[in-house]
Chains A and B, each alone.
Chain A
C-alpha cells in the first residue's frame, strides 16, 4: 500500500449543515488517509459549502474514498483535481526573528517574493504571503536561517480553470 503515498487535492460541494465535516472526516479516517489541510466556506448559494481537502494516501484507495464521499447524503459532489486542472492558492502568515543587522536582508528576500509586511516589532517581523503552496514553502525555507518563529497557513484553496465550475 505504501508505494503510492501521494498528496491529493479533493474538492467537495456539500450541504451547509451541522455534522457534514464529521461525516467527511470519518471517510478519511476509516481509510487511513491523513488530512494535511482542510478549508471550508459557504458557497455562493449559502445553502451549500465548498470544502478543499489536501490528503495523503495511496491512489487506489482514493477512488473508493471518492465513491464513499459521493455516497454521503450531504455531499453533492466530490472529486479529485490534479494540479493542472485548477488554480491553487494559499495564504500564510510568517513571523520571523530579526535584529538591526538582518532586517534589510529579510526585507529584500520577502520583497522578491512579493510578501506584505503586516507587523513589525523590535525583534520580529510578520509577513503575509499568498500564492501556490510551493511558493510559501520556498519563502519559509529562505527565512529559516533568521529564525522562523511561527507559520500559520490557510490550507490549499482550489478553483477550476476557465468556464468549468469547481466540484461539478
Chain B
C-alpha cells in the first residue's frame, strides 16, 4: 500500500469498500484495526481498507495503547421486527406454490439448519442463487438448483408458476430478475435481508424483514402453519423429470461431462471455486453442492481470475479438503503466477482448466446475438498448459477424449504432492443452455440454440 498511500489509496477505493480509515496518529492504530475487523465481519460483510502512511508503519507505540472503540453510526438490526415476521409467516402458511430463494446472505449467516427445518416442515421447494449454492443440499428432492440466466429449466419454470417467492439473503440481481419491473408479477414476494438498502432496490416486495437470516428464520419457524403444497411438490418433481440438464457424452469432449464427472468423483465433499464465464455456469449447473461454503465464485463482481487465488485461500484454510478450481483458459491466465505460491506451499489444488481456446462466454454472445461475427475472443496464443505446469514445477494432466475423463480425473484426485493442472481440451463452440437473454423475463428462456435471429440483449456478459 506504500506507494499510493497518504489518502490517495482511499480516494480510489471509496466506491468499492464498506469503509476505510486513514491512520494519522500511530496511537490510533489498535483501535482502528479493531474497528476495521468489526465492520468487515459484521452485518453485511465487506472489505475495509486501513491506509497506513510510512511514518505510521515505522512508528513505535506503547503496547498498552487502548484498542477500544465506539461506532455510533454503525448499528446492525439482527432480530427482524416481530410484526413483519408474523406477516411473512402467514403469507408462507397460506401459499400454495411457494419457493424459497436462498442467497449468499443465508450462507453468511449460517442459516442451513433453519432453512432445512422450514423446508421439511412446510414442504417448500428451494432454489439457490450462484452464491447461495450449498446452503441447502442440491441433492435434496426439493432443491431445484440455480434459477436465472443460465439456471435450470425447472427452476425457471417453477418461478414462472409460483405464487410466493421468499428471498433469504438474495438480492434479485440482474442474472435472475433480468427485467425487475415485471419480475414474476403473479407471485407475492418476501425479502429477508440484513441490509436495508437491498429492500425494494430492484424488485418491489410485499413484505420485508430486515435482520440476520438465521435469527429471522428461527423465529419465523415458530409462526408457520403447515399449508397444502402437495400438488405443487408433485408438479416440481415432474418438471425436474421432464426438463433435466443435458448434454451429449459421445463425440467431442464436453465441459459439462468433465465437470459432472468431477462432481460425482468428489461426492459433494470438494470445495469448488470458479472464474467467470461458460465454465462457471456449467460448474453451477453440474457441480452439485451439498455443503455451505463449498462453492466460491465472484458473483456480482464478475471478476475473471478469481477461481485460482480463491482456491489457494480455501486450501490454506482447509488443508484436509479436496479443493477444485474450475477455471477458464482466459481467466486462469489472469492470475496464474500464483502457481508459484501453490507449488511452494505444496497445496494439492486441482486446477480443472476448461480449455475451449476461446473467451467462451463472450464468443457465445457474439454467436447468438451478433451473427457469429467473432471479435477479440479467440485465444490462439494459449500456451501448452501441461508444459506451463511443468515450468512451475507443478503436475500437469491432459484430457481430450470423453472416454478418458474418469481415468484422468481419478489420477488427478490421487495426486496430492502439490497443485496440478488438468487441461481439459473441450469442444470449442459449445454454448451454455438454458439461457434467458439478458434483460428478458424468465418465460423467454431458450433451451437450445434457436433458429430465428435473436434481438440484441439489453445487458452485458
Contact = CB atoms under 8 A, between A and B. Distances in A.
Interface stretch (B152-160, B195-203, B451-459): B195-203
Contacts of A19: 10, 14, 20, 22
A86 B200 CA distance: 29
Contacts of B39: 73
B3 interface: no
Contact of A76 (B14, B18, B72): B72
Nearest to A68: B197
A64 interface: yes
Contacts of A68: 197
Interface residues of B, number: 19
B196 A67 contact: yes
Interface in B9-64: 10-11, 14-15, 18-20, 22, 39
A70 B201 CA distance: 15
A73 B197 CA distance: 14
B73 A73 contact: yes
A76 B200 contact: no
B22 A18 contact: yes
Interface string A73-85: 1111000000000
Of B18, B20, B74, B195, chain A has the most CB atoms within 10 Å of the CB of B74
B14 A22 contact: yes
Contacts of A71: 195-197
A64 B204 CA distance: 12
Interface in A13-31: 14-15, 18-19, 22-23, 26, 30
A92 B15 CA distance: 34
A75 B72 CA distance: 8
Contacts of A148: none
A84 B252 CA distance: 72
A72 interface: yes
B71 interface: yes
Contact of B73 (A14, A26, A63, A67): A14
Contact of B15 (A30, A73, A75, A76): A30
A58 B73 CA distance: 26
B4 to A, nearest CB: 16
A71 B198 CA distance: 11
Interface string A54-73: 00000000011001101111
Contacts of B14: 19, 22-23, 26
Nearest to B200: A64
A23 to B, nearest CB: 6
Contacts of B20: 19
B73 A76 contact: yes
A64 B201 CA distance: 7
Contacts of A30: 15
Contacts of B195: 71
Interface string B356-371: 0000000000000000
A70 B195 CA distance: 11
B147 to A, nearest CB: 25
Nearest to A13: B73
Closest 8 CB pairs of A and B: A76-B73, A73-B19, A67-B197, A67-B196, A73-B74, A75-B73, A76-B72, A68-B197
21 contacts: A14-B73, A15-B73, A19-B10, A19-B14, A19-B20, A19-B22, A22-B11, A64-B197, A64-B201, A67-B196, A67-B197, A67-B199, A68-B197, A70-B196, A71-B197, A73-B39, A73-B71, A73-B74, A74-B19, A74-B73, A76-B73
